[in-house]
């Protein structure tokens, strides 16, 4: 077992793999990562599935069967992806049984529904029913239309991974949506102890957007702030999480069996080669959080990641000063957040299109 990853887990950080394939499941690689690399959860997205389906022959037979049944491309995608997530849930089931909140596998609603509340709810229900595993998480984007969908889905006892969170203000709204969903679930008689949620706060994309603006400004003050926005933003968000946990509203739900909606640090692969490749892991160590990593980041952390204890608790005010300095240097913070969410949805939609084209190509091969 990797000692560095074990130390990270011992610090209270849940290590999730941001990747999944049928090959990982069937060869035992996923189970091996659980045993040897302290992996206790999995996140997926359409690009991950597109890569898995394009690269592997393990999907061919199922594709042929679905084509023979007359399924269209959306139905084939649904069947392929839910089967992988269902089987990954089974691999992670022992983790779910021995831990309070881990052993979870995420699958997301179609990205083109990001601005349609009712369609998002319907998609989430369909995915939850198809995967049919208590340790699944349905990914719903934190768009304005996504917030009421989160509440509605949680209210029905469905566990949720809220994704595409960039701003602390939107994160506050996500936490409110979760609490409201729990309150409605309680009123409907659901067992709150069975509901899980994480709030996926995106990290590296924040630095990419802010750094480019700081470089255009070009002053010494601006350039000195490069690479600091993402971690600062996440630390402020964690301060908001601490505030939620201290609220009377949460305490009442916790007494009824509810579990916290843990912050999940997403987009943790470093995009700027000048930065340490473990930056968004080492600098965001704090208990009761999840860090979902692509395998490259996971391996880097296992090989040379440095841990210096809790890097987040009690640092929200200091982090806010960093964000204030970025604004003072001339960066329009509100515009940054607007661009990141808009681009995030667009990237998810492009990712879905990539998956559709990949599966369509596999279906054509099956017909040949």
**Span 118-123, mean pLDDT?**
97
pLDDT at 308: 94
Residue 292 and residue 19 in contact, taking contact as beta carbons nearer than 8 Å:
no
Burial class (CB in 10 A: 0-12, 13-18, 19+), 246: exposed
pLDDT at 286: 98
pLDDT above 90 (res 316): yes
What is residue 18's DSSP assignment? S
CATH code for position 215: 3.20.20.70
State how far the Cα of 248 lies from the Cα of 254, in Å rounded to an integer. 10
State how far the Cα of 292 lies from the Cα of 294, in Å rounded to an integer. 7
- Please give the residue range of the domain that contains residue 128: 3-367
**Token couple for 133:** 């595993």
Catalytic residue chosen out of the listed positions 6, 139, 184, 296: 139
When divided into structural domains, the chain yields a total of 1
pLDDT at 2: 87
pLDDT above 90 (res 112): no
**Span 80-97, mean pLDDT?**
98
Q: How confident is the model at residue 343 (pLDDT cuts 50, 70, 90)?
A: very high
**Span 283-299, mean pLDDT?**
97
**Token couple for 124:** 């989430």
End-to-end CA gap in the chain: 46
pLDDT at 111: 84
139 given a catalytic annotation: yes
pLDDT at 90: 98
Determine how many CB atoms are found less than 10 A away from the CB of residue 334.
11
pLDDT at 11: 97
Angle, CA of 19, 24 and 27, to the nearest 5°:
170
**Span 180-208, mean pLDDT?**
98
What is residue 100's DSSP assignment? S
pLDDT at 114: 81
Helix (H) or strand (E) holding 138: strand 136-141
- Asked whether the whole model's pTM tops 0.95, one would answer yes
Residue 288 and residue 15 in contact, taking contact as beta carbons nearer than 8 Å:
no
* pLDDT tens digits, one per residue of 99-109: 999 999 999 99
State how far the Cα of 233 lies from the Cα of 225, in Å rounded to an integer. 13
pLDDT at 348: 87
Q: Considering only CA atoms, which of 260, 212, 235 is closest in space to residue 319?
A: 235
Q: How confident is the model at residue 193 (pLDDT cuts 50, 70, 90)?
A: very high
pLDDT at 241: 98
**Span 270-278, mean pLDDT?**
96
Q: Residues 117-124: contacts with CB within 8 Å, 24+ apart?
A: 117/145, 117/146, 117/148, 117/149, 117/152, 120/145, 120/146, 120/149, 121/149, 121/152, 121/153, 124/149, 124/153, 124/158, 124/160
* pLDDT tens digits, one per residue of 124-162: 999 999 999 999 999 999 999 999 999 999 999 999 999
> In the chain, where does DSSP find H-type helix?
3-10, 22-27, 29-36, 46-55, 60-68, 73-98, 117-131, 146-155, 168-187, 204-217, 220-223, 229-245, 248-255, 279-282, 295-304, 316-328, 333-367
**Span 195-224, mean pLDDT?**
98
**Span 242-262, mean pLDDT?**
98
- Report the Cα 58 to chain-centroid distance in Å: 26
């Amino acid at each position: 077992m990797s000692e560095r990853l074990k130390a990270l887990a011992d610090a209270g950080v849940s290590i999730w793999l941001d990747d999944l394939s049928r090959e990982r499941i069937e060869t035992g690689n996923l189970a091996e990562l659980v045993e040897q690399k302290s992996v206790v959860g999995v996140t997926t997205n359409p690009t991950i599935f597109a890569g898995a389906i394009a690269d592997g022959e393990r999907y061919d037979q199922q594709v042929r069967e679905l084509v023979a049944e007359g399924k269209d491309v959306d139905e084939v995608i649904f069947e392929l992806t839910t089967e992988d997530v269902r089987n990954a849930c089974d691999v992670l089931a022992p983790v779910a049984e021995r831990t309070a909140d881990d052993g979870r596998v995420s699958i997301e609603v179609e990205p083109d529904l990001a601005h349609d509340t009712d369609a998002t709810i319907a998609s989430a229900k369909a995915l939850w029913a198809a995967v049919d595993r208590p340790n699944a998480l349905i990914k719903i984007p934190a768009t304005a239309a996504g917030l009421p969908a989160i509440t509605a889905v949680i209210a029905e006892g469905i566990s949720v991974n809220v994704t595409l969170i960039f701003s602390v203000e939107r994160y506050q709204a996500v936490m409110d949506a979760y609490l409201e969903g729990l309150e409605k679930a309680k009123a409907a008689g659901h067992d709150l102890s069975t509901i899980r949620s994480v709030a996926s706060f995106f990290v590296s994309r924040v630095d990419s957007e802010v750094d480019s603006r700081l470089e255009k400004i070009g002053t010494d003050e601006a350039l000195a702030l490069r690479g600091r926005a993402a971690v600062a933003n996440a630390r402020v968000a964690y301060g908001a999480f601490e505030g939620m946990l201290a609220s009377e509203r949460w305490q009442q739900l916790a007494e009824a069996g509810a579990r916290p909606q843990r912050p999940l640090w997403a987009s943790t692969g470093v995009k700027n080669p000048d930065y340490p490749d473990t930056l968004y892991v080492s600098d965001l160590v704090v208990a009761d959080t999840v860090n979902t990593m692509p395998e490259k980041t996971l391996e880097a952390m296992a090989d040379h990641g440095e841990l210096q204890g809790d890097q987040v608790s009690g640092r929200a005010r200091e982090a806010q000063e960093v964000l204030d300095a970025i604004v003072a240097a001339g960066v329009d913070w509100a515009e940054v957040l607007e661009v990141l969410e808009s681009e995030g949805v667009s990237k998810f939609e492009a990712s879905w299109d990539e998956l559709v084209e990949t599966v369509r190509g596999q279906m054509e091969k099956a017909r040949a």
